[in-house]
Structure 1
């Protein structure tokens, strides 16, 4: 039997519809039923529901199913924390109490076994099937473009198109940073063409970079500047994503560093670093301070959600970051940070001692990391027990605040601190010099953390300043789903991980065997591994 192309869209007699709802005017993409394509979309609200399909991979539920069971990008079990944080220098491989196989090997930067995974993303972060969703989004964009202006006013149509392009661009952005370039269809005229859909080969990195750039630039010019619902994407979020993409690809795309520098001045929101409380860095992540002055974008979560697609976004992070034996009260009957939950399911997420030790004395950001806890079995567990009772320290950046099944803590996607650090980086990369303005941006982030200005030797040269930014990004943005991408951009992934005793097996995850075999049966070669030509480790392109 002839194999069906992995890029084929099965446009059945129904599609999944979604609605906007949630408490406090939050934005939740919720699956609520099926709509017939014979009379849908017929109204402006129908088109909006149609658009909401694009948000589903970026919502937070246990999983969703368009063409196969898939983890959302931001859910703890198989999302970006596991793909880009546990695989970085922030963390250490989870061995003590581990559930085995990829739960351990990913944290050790050993990715070869990823090629044995099937289409579904269950327990393991297998996101390759999302190439199908790029095609799905391409179809949605085509339908929005064809919308009758009498049904969907032009201004609203352009805003919806901007959101669809932003979602497609970010889908490709994540796929690129997970696997390297992957085969996608962004031209709607190729959908349904079996020859083109069977053309399973990696595109050139410049080509895929341009696909992403085109989508994000369109989004930055067309998405609404503000939204009624918290967590619905805005033009500033598109600009933030563009800035990050420009920096990632600037080494091989002419003018991208300058574009990253220029776009900083195009932010429209009145952002500033959160500054309230004894430790403003820690306070900004608490439920009471959702969408504060620093937030450009976040996934809006509710502590009443349970992970069902009909209940909106939830945040299960603590269950993957707290030791199972963590007690609610210590030996003095004093409530511990876990009093509202108790132990978690396992310490999939942790902070390595080496990473913790890299913080400067007095850095308030380190206060969101717990270096000891009270065990219901063994009493006080300290750093002396690393390698025996636990692998690394506890992330308390997203604290357990309510006695609910899951926390309502929002998941940060874009913060002003990140934008400031990216601006400083873009300045030095674009202009090959260290400016006072760039130094000021980095120092602003440091001051909020209770630190002094960068020492003169840290700003004495371009290389020294980039090293300082690299370190600041790690300390400021740990477990925000971007560290491995940063390490690759700074040319430090292989060398730094090897120095920590976790030599990566490859730069990116390999493509699954089933996709490679399917391409071969269609007469194409889909390279399983991809390595950038500026990678600081061994080349693996096979």
Structure 2
């Protein structure tokens, strides 16, 4: 199906005006819902998929303030032309525990674990086949593991309730943060359990396209292992994802990956399904200057996110990925906008335009129905290359994996003799991933894994960052309400 529509079935009964008994219409009555397979599926779709949306300004992947964009804006490849009092703390690392753009993911999504865990409990006795139940439980397991990984990467371990605690809501319990070991085990176990029952992939024509797959579960698991520097297990997962059953392959032309015409291409591991009137992303509105000429003149343009000039100049001149990084254009006002007059004409003052996504010819404002990509196969190949080198040194296989990405970009291939050390190769790979995945949410975790996040923040101009800022702060309201049980991350 084009778009998984998030529906939460609420059972509402009508009665006479004399019935004054209070009713809570926002709470699911588990004695009457879910009753059948269709109810169970509706409940699971809401609980498992509701978090992972890019729907206007909603969802953890929304392209206005979602976790991918916020992550990248905090790195050397992110800039913004909007008010520095709002975006400056994120761009230059002077955020606090009260800053909305770093605490929003904790505040908005920590509660979604409860929905997922309760949905598992509520479908346990619904009449359906074991295969049908196992598939729904696998989707919930993937959702728990994925949300766990995203929040763990951002904040470190986060409190997750048990089923028993959720079934006794009148008891006021403050759940403490678990150990790092417990959190990693929770994520790993959830993703492995999901992979047992999910299909390897859904093809583009399948009505279930857009639902979770084993390929997605393993991709997140690979990212967890890279985060934990468990290179051996990361390599094993990367090799698993190379198998034909997953069907992944690189798209020939880079800019074709992100277009309406090439949705559901074989490079995509997971993309949020966008559809007119249901769920739409806002990327072009957030990056285009009002003078930028578009084929569709009805597209909204707010002149916001940029890739800094310093990062732009790290690309080789013949890199085909520059086709979607706009450093010069003739505006609809007749003015030539480029680096030479970037200060005179504001649109390029802080960097180049990360166009990336193609136009929606039917757009009539800020909204686009081009699917929003979260993970793709190029990510797996480059992480596999890194995992190999971190164990065995610079090998021909690792070079070949990286060259697949460079070849598509129209760049010359590396040879083993180009590198005098593992460190030189890792630096080249880190830069290549930056060039490949700008504004796809990879850069922050990449820089942290390579021990360069704080160093690069200082080079970008931050005078306030700290070594501890590799983790974002827990919202201050959470610390206050916990009465000392939930401890703040170091450095805040």
TM-score normalised by length of structure 1: 0.79
| Preserved contact between residue 86 and residue 106 of structure 1 (Cα < 8 Å) | yes
How many Å separate the matches in 1 of 2:199 and 2:454? 40
Is 1:493 the counterpart of 2:459? The answer is: no
Deviation at 1:198, TM superposition (A): 3.0
Give the 3-state SS of the residue equivalent to 1:284 in structure 2.
helix
Instruction: Call closer, same or farther: CA 1:393–1:234 in 2, change over 3 Å.
Output: same
For residue 204 of structure 1, what is the aligned residue in structure 2?
179
For residue 7 of structure 1, what is the aligned residue in structure 2?
none
Is 1:290 the counterpart of 2:274? The answer is: no
Deviation at 1:339, TM superposition (A): 4.2
Is 1:143 the counterpart of 2:131? The answer is: no
Deviation at 1:515, TM superposition (A): 0.7
Question: Paired residue for 2:375, among 382, 396, 414?
Answer: 414
| Preserved contact between residue 157 and residue 178 of structure 2 (Cα < 8 Å) | yes
For residue 221 of structure 2, what is the aligned residue in structure 1?
242
Question: Residues 237-278 of structure 1, C-alpha deviation per residue, up to 9 Å, x if partnerless?
Answer: 11111111110112xxxxx32111111232331221111xxx
Question: How do 1:32-71 residues align onto structure 2 when only pairs under 5 Å count?
Answer: 33-35=9-11, 37=29, 38-53=31-46, 54-62=48-56, 71=58
Question: Paired residue for 2:338, among 376, 382, 388?
Answer: 382
How many Å separate the matches in 2 of 1:200 and 1:129? 17
For residue 509 of structure 1, what is the aligned residue in structure 2?
472
How many Å separate the matches in 2 of 1:41 and 1:374? 58
Q: Which 5+ residue runs of structure 2 have no aligned equivalent?
A: 12-27
Question: How do 1:441-456 residues align onto structure 2 when only pairs under 5 Å count?
Answer: 441-454=401-414, 456=416
| Preserved contact between residue 474 and residue 488 of structure 2 (Cα < 8 Å) | yes
| Preserved contact between residue 50 and residue 59 of structure 2 (Cα < 8 Å) | yes
Give the 3-state SS of the residue equivalent to 1:413 in structure 2.
strand
Question: How do 1:263-342 residues align onto structure 2 when only pairs under 5 Å count?
Answer: 263-267=237-241, 268-275=245-252, 280-302=253-275, 304-305=276-277, 311=278, 313-323=279-289, 325-327=290-292, 336-337=293-294, 339-341=296-298
Deviation at 1:408, TM superposition (A): 1.9
Instruction: Call closer, same or farther: CA 1:208–1:351 in 2, change over 3 Å.
Output: same
How many Å separate the matches in 2 of 1:321 and 1:124? 24
| Preserved contact between residue 306 and residue 352 of structure 2 (Cα < 8 Å) | yes
RMSD: 2.4
Deviation at 1:419, TM superposition (A): 1.0
Question: Paired residue for 1:373, among 329, 333, 337?
Answer: 329
| Preserved contact between residue 326 and residue 342 of structure 1 (Cα < 8 Å) | no
How many Å separate the matches in 2 of 1:130 and 1:281? 32
Deviation at 1:403, TM superposition (A): 4.0
For residue 67 of structure 2, what is the aligned residue in structure 1?
80
How many Å separate the matches in 2 of 1:362 and 1:85? 24
Deviation at 1:502, TM superposition (A): 2.8
For residue 77 of structure 2, what is the aligned residue in structure 1?
90
For residue 308 of structure 1, what is the aligned residue in structure 2?
none
Deviation at 1:343, TM superposition (A): 5.3
How many Å separate the matches in 2 of 1:29 and 1:445? 34
Give the 3-state SS of the residue equivalent to 1:115 in structure 2.
coil
Question: Paired residue for 1:481, among 441, 452, 455?
Answer: 441
For residue 231 of structure 2, what is the aligned residue in structure 1?
257
| Preserved contact between residue 286 and residue 398 of structure 1 (Cα < 8 Å) | yes
How many Å separate the matches in 2 of 1:26 and 1:131? 28
How many Å separate the matches in 1 of 2:342 and 2:8? 46
Question: Residues 476-504 of structure 1, C-alpha deviation per residue, up to 9 Å, x if partnerless?
Answer: 11111221111111111001121221353
Give the 3-state SS of the residue equivalent to 1:207 in structure 2.
helix
How many Å separate the matches in 1 of 2:334 and 2:183? 52
TM-score normalised by length of structure 2: 0.87
| Preserved contact between residue 106 and residue 474 of structure 2 (Cα < 8 Å) | no
| Preserved contact between residue 83 and residue 178 of structure 1 (Cα < 8 Å) | no
How many Å separate the matches in 1 of 2:360 and 2:69? 23
Q: Larger % of helix: which?
A: 2
Give the 3-state SS of the residue equivalent to 2:134 in structure 1.
helix
How many Å separate the matches in 2 of 1:184 and 1:385? 52
| Preserved contact between residue 158 and residue 222 of structure 1 (Cα < 8 Å) | yes
How many Å separate the matches in 1 of 2:270 and 2:255? 17
How many Å separate the matches in 1 of 2:270 and 2:190? 18
Question: Paired residue for 1:462, among 422, 430, 449?
Answer: 422
Is 1:344 the counterpart of 2:262? The answer is: no
| Preserved contact between residue 79 and residue 125 of structure 1 (Cα < 8 Å) | no
Give the 3-state SS of the residue equivalent to 2:10 in structure 1.
strand
| Preserved contact between residue 260 and residue 369 of structure 2 (Cα < 8 Å) | yes
Give the 3-state SS of the residue equivalent to 1:134 in structure 2.
helix
| Equivalent residue pairs, number | 459
Instruction: Call closer, same or farther: CA 1:399–1:193 in 2, change over 3 Å.
Output: same
Question: Residues 341-383 of structure 1, C-alpha deviation per residue, up to 9 Å, x if partnerless?
Answer: 4551231x21110111111121111221000234456822211
Q: Which 5+ residue runs of structure 1 have no aligned equivalent?
A: 1-24, 64-70, 251-255, 306-310, 328-335, 531-539
Question: Residues 414-449 of structure 1, C-alpha deviation per residue, up to 9 Å, x if partnerless?
Answer: 2111111011112122x2422211111001111011
